[in-house]
Structure 1
């Protein structure tokens, strides 16, 4: 068996859903170069085991980052069927493993970890197959009872709050809709102050806390609805998930302004090239009318994939 060793270096890589891009790139590289399996290796960063680069890095304490590593990053790796193992190393080795991804990676050079969407756009242009996320068989069996539901994932974060879901607009747009499952914001739920749009469900709560169940729920859904939020990356890199996302642009923050999407090679109004016909970014704010447009798109493709 030919095994690829994918190194996620926490000196450069974040403990956010942006790691989904790294996983998709590792899977695309594996397929492109004929590897049978992938082994993920996590290396510690210099600040309590993590990087200290972004505003989020500086805001989150080490305990919060460790929780995210254990409950977000490592489960992300397991969503690839080709993943055969994960090693979290206590220190940084002097040399890279054999058959390493990124292919030019060396732990003694400047820290490097490809996780931004522009890297995915370039890889897709070279023919890499990026959509490899899959829920486990057992999680899919659990999600069967929610097949065909409209699954709404909320953002209610204390970080960059202007990006959060407009709860009033979504309540208005979803009024009269049956068979809706709402997945609350995970960290908001852990504080006990989360919103569920008045549609509380065990499925939404379980999905918010367990990544494999979240993935299975997204796969089973007739349609998924998002704002620009981390968990949407699961759907971006899954061929099965039917979804639409609104509120991609929030001018309050550098990383959600139109010029940032230009840097990511996904200009406002365009779609990533690897998206399926049933996957769409709707470049409108999350007004009730925009959410209704997302619902209408979902109903058009409800039986796709």
Structure 2
């Protein structure tokens, strides 16, 4: 910063003559651009696309991943080699003024938590990301956008223009399936997960159960009794089930239904470890929830997703088709053969049947069949 101001003082000598020759309006524009060049010059690599995520118009939750995918698509088309993700504060305590979804009396602190623990770390799951900046003001965003003119996303970004780039339907319209970018776990996160698997999982198949345990839209939450019954029913000689808690419930006591089943509480808020776990899992199982989007956009992650619709919460067939491009019985538009939507509730028998079918598909592709062999078929399941 000191060097920037030194450079600014050097340029002052030439500005007075330019003011006399070109007038005040031209002079102010020139000062603005020169200041941007000096203050942000270190960021201005010619092969970098600067992508603005504006919290005035976009939410602080996992839909941010859709923005990352769109930014990556634009980076490819622009010929740039790297992404610089810039998060712009909104006008209402840094956000858009809408109430946080969480029902825990923490107000805007919920959003600040998500900014630090979801948005920023998710940026690093895009392999082309080389820098992440969280700006302190909207004026900084205006200056930065002017300084990078021609290499920004959205292409017509302005702090005054309402552009929403966090919607799934925009991603689906942007590119054909075969061109869809993929998120990826970071090497260090993979190292830690692999070390843990060597010590704990051994040669068994890692089954990751990601729970939804939100204080809002509760009918969409995981049916814990069914998930616990499913986990207990897996043959412990073949499978190793682990529980990943919801972002909102990472340190809450786990239901007694899961007694004896490994829970990785620390994974809840560590997006790099979460993604590495998803990649290394033999199979991931979800109900529709925010973190699931990490697997949707990772071609290496195998998954089953249940409870796609919930009319009580407004997630109808029409809503799904409009927002995700998926109709009844269809998979996520970019799904691989090992990524499947199960259009049914997360009841024990539904989970078991879908799991059996996917395991057979995976083993068939590997050239070796391994039947689904639960220890027992627990009665009930809530």
TM-score, normalised to structure 1's length?
0.90
Which structure: larger Rg?
A: 2
Q: Can you list the C-alpha shifts for 1:90-121, whole angstroms capped at 9, x where unaligned?
A: 11133523311112222222x32311111111
Q: Can you list the C-alpha shifts for 1:148-191, whole angstroms capped at 9, x where unaligned?
A: 3010000111011110000111222233213101111121124x
| DSSP 3-state at the match of 2:91 | coil
Task: Identify the residue that residue 183 of structure 1 maps to in structure 2.
Answer: 244
* In structure 1, distance between residues paired with 2:300 and 2:154: 27
Corresponding position: 1:119 with 2:179: no
Structure 1 segments (4+ residues) deviating >6 Å: 57-60
Task: Identify the residue that residue 3 of structure 2 maps to in structure 1.
Answer: none
Corresponding position: 1:161 with 2:218: yes
* In structure 1, distance between residues paired with 2:260 and 2:126: 31
Q: Can you list the C-alpha shifts for 1:198-226, whole angstroms capped at 9, x where unaligned?
A: 24536x22211211011100000000000
Task: Identify the residue that residue 41 of structure 1 maps to in structure 2.
Answer: 86
Contact 1:51 1:57 in 2 (8 A): no
Please give the residue correspondences for 1:240-255 in structure 2 after superposition, counting only pairs within 5 Å: 240-254=300-314
Contact 1:248 1:284 in 2 (8 A): yes
Contact 1:124 1:130 in 2 (8 A): no
* In structure 2, distance between residues paired with 1:60 and 1:160: 18
Q: Alpha-carbon deviation of 1:60?
A: 6.2
| DSSP 3-state at the match of 1:272 | coil
Corresponding position: 1:103 with 2:151: no
* In structure 2, distance between residues paired with 1:82 and 1:299: 33
* In structure 1, distance between residues paired with 2:167 and 2:118: 17
* In structure 2, distance between residues paired with 1:138 and 1:55: 32
* Equivalent residue in structure 2 for 1:89, among 135, 140, 163: 135
Give RMSD over aligned pairs.
Answer: 2.3
Q: Alpha-carbon deviation of 1:297?
A: 3.6
Corresponding position: 1:287 with 2:362: no
Q: For structure 2, which runs of at least 5 residues remain unmatched after alignment?
A: 1-45, 367-382
Corresponding position: 1:16 with 2:61: yes
Q: 1:126 to 1:62 in 2, by over 3 A?
A: same
Task: Identify the residue that residue 278 of structure 2 maps to in structure 1.
Answer: 218
Q: Alpha-carbon deviation of 1:292?
A: 1.0
Is 47-56 or 35-44 further displaced after alignment?
Answer: 47-56
Q: Can you list the C-alpha shifts for 1:9-39, whole angstroms capped at 9, x where unaligned?
A: 0011111111111111112222233220000
If each structure's helix is expressed as a fraction of its own residues, which one has the higher value?
A: 2
Contact 2:60 2:114 in 1 (8 A): yes
* In structure 2, distance between residues paired with 1:181 and 1:209: 16
Contact 1:173 1:291 in 2 (8 A): yes
* Equivalent residue in structure 2 for 1:257, among 316, 323, 345: 316
Q: 1:127 to 1:6 in 2, by over 3 A?
A: farther
Q: 1:199 to 1:10 in 2, by over 3 A?
A: farther
Corresponding position: 1:77 with 2:77: no
| DSSP 3-state at the match of 1:149 | strand
Please give the residue correspondences for 1:138-177 in structure 2 after superposition, counting only pairs within 5 Å: 138-144=188-194, 145=197, 146=201, 148-177=205-234
Q: Can you list the C-alpha shifts for 1:258-299, whole angstroms capped at 9, x where unaligned?
A: 121121122222123311111111111111122113312431
* In structure 2, distance between residues paired with 1:25 and 1:94: 21
Q: Can you list the C-alpha shifts for 1:47-99, whole angstroms capped at 9, x where unaligned?
A: 11011347728986111110110001000001112111011111113352331
* In structure 2, distance between residues paired with 1:298 and 1:60: 41
Q: For structure 1, which runs of at least 5 residues remain unmatched after alignment?
A: none
Contact 1:185 1:194 in 2 (8 A): no
Is 231-240 or 100-109 further displaced after alignment?
Answer: 100-109
Q: 1:290 to 1:266 in 2, by over 3 A?
A: same
Contact 2:100 2:111 in 1 (8 A): no
* Equivalent residue in structure 1 for 2:334, among 274, 278, 282: 274
